[in-house]
Amino acid sequence: MSATPLDAAQNQTAAPSFNFEPINVEARFDSPRAAIDSDRSKNWFKRVFPILWVNKWAFSIGITMTVLTMLVSVALPALTGQIIDALPNAIIENQPDHFLLLVIIMISLTVLRFIFGFLGTYQMSRVSNQLEADLRSVIYNHLVTLSFSFYDNIQTGQVISRANSDIKAIQMFLMMSPMLLTSVLSFIFAAAYMLSVSFTLTLAALVTTPVVYVLSMKLRAIMFPLSWLTQAHQADVAVIVDENINGQRIVKSFAQEQSQLTLLGKAAKKLQWVQVRAIDISSIFNPVIEHLTVVGQVLVWVYGGWLVIQGEVQLGALVAFNMYLMIIQAPFRFLGLLLQMEQRAKASAGRIFEILDEQPEITDRANISSLKSPQGYLEFDDVHFAYKNDPVLTGLDFKVESGETIAIVGRTGSGKSTVVRLLSRFYEMSSGSIKIDGIDIRDLALKNLHFHVGQVLDEPFLFSISIRDNIAYGKPNASMAEIISAAKAAQAHDFIKNMEKGYDTVVGERGYTLSGGQRQRLGIARALLVNPPILVLDDATSAIDVKVESDIHEALVNLMANRTTILIAHRLSTIGLANRVVLLDEGKAIATGTHQKLLETVPRYSEILSQQNRMPEREPRS
């Protein structure tokens, strides 16, 4: 297998323009029009406000429609009351004109409410959905600017929950809070009507409301932690199930079925316990809350009925009064809900700001130079680097000639991987310099640097997209011929071809459906496709069969001819590919030279090698 087809394919489609950023997707939606206020001293609402403000017109329409709906809704019960009161006159006196007029007004109002109601609800939801989408995009846009060190210290699950439930919490609050306006308005109207009927009747009607309000708040306060605990216990059950499915072989191997069943039993019991507790509590509160509201109605009928008997109030007004009683109670509940939502939204916003306030550690300098097609001459000059106060490199010096292949050799933990990560500026060296073709890498745009330095990491991460897209990750617009050539060079073409869907096979989550060696081969193909002038292979063949590895090496030897390559390897066979070896020990390059020369002259070298290759390893040809 030779690599010539790859070269050929790449020559054919040589990049027409100098493009560092491969983009092969059509933007179907606009980017968010606003960002979070970066002033950390402001309160959370002010910081989020710009995102709300860009939607001000859509929002105003929504709120206007909602207010109109409310106004019509508030008028309807009074009208119903009037219709009822108009009945006796219309029937007994046989003068239906007034009655008919009222009915017609009511029909028109109903139609209006339908129109306003639809427009208001829909428009508000649209704004709310836009808000959520903008928040999501803003967070994502920020996440891709952050550096490796940020990702070393986070748990993905946490970020995802921030990007999910926390966004929802903010969105809900931002959308609900303006509703307070309509809610207050309807409260005022309802109260005005009720008071106009009778002050004492209003008092009687509302006598149970504060109790209902207090009870609802209390119930919610009790239920909230219960529902979180329920979720936590549900997650516990799910974790046990997940582990027993994925680790079934271990469970069976050690005959732990019974103990795992008991473990699940305990988790399920706890879940049952917390749910029963929630049921017990709500089965006391709920009936009381529900029926106390009705008690208010009973009071209205008794006292109001007496007032009607006394001739102070009309029957229709009493019916309408009861309808307003329902309207007037809503703002009370709503206010309680809103206060709680504000607390949640504030906490959620805090968690989202934590991400958005995170500054990228490594950024472009103000004046950057650009490399078009570097020769790949590398200089490491007195490079120092410490990881979390742990010095890793302490004055590293070495040079790599253009087109040369070098192997970095050292014990585990000697900082081999660090060297190549510094080269791509994934981390920033604390002092010293690294130069490509004589230009300090810190004077290059990061994208420019990454474009020229291709890295294949030892644990190749694959995305759950098709194999073709995985290989084309760094060059999404690559032609199929290019992709196949890269796969062939990485010895991946044969196994891909044997898959049912070939290059269209979608890689399972985290690539677990492929073996370690297959994943590494795809990782190599991915880097080869980009065809960078500087290539780093960080233990990239560790899980690959010796036979296959030697085939890859053959392809690499051809490919390496025109590029600078850095290999990090434990195996002698891999080291053998290099023109020169850099021996890393205690943070410095203590020796460089050919493998043979180092073996002969540097005792430390053979010592380290023999530690790593005590016995010839791996099964040949299979």
Partner 1 sequence: MKGFGSKHASAAGLPFAGIPPEMVEKTNALMEDEPDFNDLQLTFSHRAGEEQTFSLINFLSPYKYRMLGALGLVGMTEALLLLGPYLVKVAIDDAIIPKDFDVLIWVAAAWILSLFVAGFVSGFRQRYVGRLGQLLMYELRIRVFAHLQRLSLDFFTKEKAGRLMARMTSDIEALSNLLQNGLVNLVAQTLSLLFIIGILLSFNIKLTLILLVIAAPVMLVMTVWFKTVSAKGYANVRNRIADVLADLQESLAGMRLVISFNRMKHNIISHRNRVGDYRDANNYTARVSATYSSATMFVDSATTIIILAVGYLILVDINPTLDPQGAFTVGALVAFANMVSRFFKPINSLVGLYNEFQSGNAAVIKLRELLGTPPSVQEKSDPIEIEDMHGDIKIRNVSFRYDANEPVLKNLSLHIEAGKSISFVGPTGAGKSTLAKLIARFYDPNEGSILIDDYNLKDLSIKSLHKQLGVVPQEPFLFHGSIKDNIRFSNMDASSDDIMQACRAVGIEDLIERLPQGLDTPCHERGSSLSSGERQLLALARAFLSKPRVLILDEATSNIDQQSESKIEQALDNLLEGRTAIIIAHRLATAMRANIIAVVKDQGIVEMGSHTELIDRRGYYAEMHKTWMQQNAGTNLGQQ
Which 49-68 residues touch partner 1, going by CB under 8 A? none
Least distance in angstroms from the C-beta of 309 to partner 1: 5
- Span 458-497, contacts to partner 1 by CB under 8 A: 461, 463-464, 473-474, 476
Q: Judging by DSSP bridges, how do beta strands 534-538 and 453-456 pair with one another?
A: parallel
Strands of 457-509 (E only): list them. none
Q: In what order do the strands lie in the sheet with 588-593?
A: 453-456, 534-538, 564-568, 405-410, 580-585, 588-593
Per CB under 8 A, the list member of 58, 229, 368, 439 interacting with partner 1 is 229
What's the token pair of residue 313? Answer: 């109030």
* Contact flag: residue 18 with partner 1 (CB under 8 A): no
- Look up residue 111 and give its two tokens: 């139609």
The answer to whether 361 contacts partner 1 (rule: CB under 8 A) is no
**CB 484 → partner 1: shortest distance, Å?**
19
Segment interacting with partner 1, rule: CB under 8 A, options 78-86, 209-217, 365-373, 493-501: 78-86
Other Cβ atoms closer than 10 A to 466: 16
Q: How many residues bind partner 1 (CB under 8 A)?
A: 189
Closest among 560, 243, 223, 217 to 404, alpha carbons compared: 560
The residue within the footprint of partner 1, chosen from 149, 216, 282, 394 (CB under 8 A), is: 282
Q: What tokens appear for 331 in the block?
A: 């703002």
- Among residues 201, 486, 578, 591, which is the contact residue for partner 1, using CB under 8 A? 578
Q: Does 370 bind partner 1 (CB under 8 A)?
A: no
Nearest CB to partner 1, comparing residues 90 and 499: 90
Judged by CB under 8 A, the residue of 258, 367, 389, 498 near partner 1 is 258
Residue 417: left (phi > 0), alpha (psi -120 to 50), or beta? alpha
CB of 394 to partner 1, least distance (A): 22
CA–CA gap between residue 538 and residue 230 (Å, rounded) = 45
Q: CB of residue 514 vs partner 1: minimum separation in angstroms?
A: 13
By CB under 8 A, what part of segment 386-405 binds partner 1?
Answer: none
Q: Which of residues 324-343 bind partner 1 (CB under 8 A)?
A: 343
Helix%, strand%, coil% for the chain, nearest 5:
65, 10, 25
Contact stretch for partner 1 (CB under 8 A) within 3-11, 160-168, 204-212, 369-377: 160-168
As a whole number of Å, the CA-based R_g of the chain is: 36
Q: Which residues contact 321 (CB under 8 A, 6 or more apart)?
A: 81, 193, 194, 197, 201, 205, 300, 304, 313
Q: Is 266 in the site for partner 1 (CB under 8 A)?
A: yes
Contact 158, 348 (CB under 8 A): no
Select from 489, 498, 369, 390 the least CA-distant residue to 437. Answer: 369
- Can you tell me which of 92, 373, 390, 500 binds partner 1, judged by CB under 8 A? 92
Decide: is 504 part of the binding site for partner 1 (CB under 8 A): no
Residue from 468, 488, 563, 570 in contact with partner 1 (CB under 8 A)? 570
- Work out whether 242 is an interface residue with partner 1 (CB under 8 A): yes
- Cα–Cα distance between 54 and 131 in angstroms, integer? 9
Three-class SS state of 358: coil
Chain positions 514 to 553 lying near partner 1, rule: CB under 8 A, are 516, 526, 530, 542-543, 546, 550
Residues 113-152, one symbol each (x = binds partner 1 by CB under 8 A, - = not), give xxx-xx--xx--xx--xx-xx--xx--xx-xxxxxx--x-
Binds partner 1 by CB under 8 A, chosen from 1, 5, 75, 96: 96
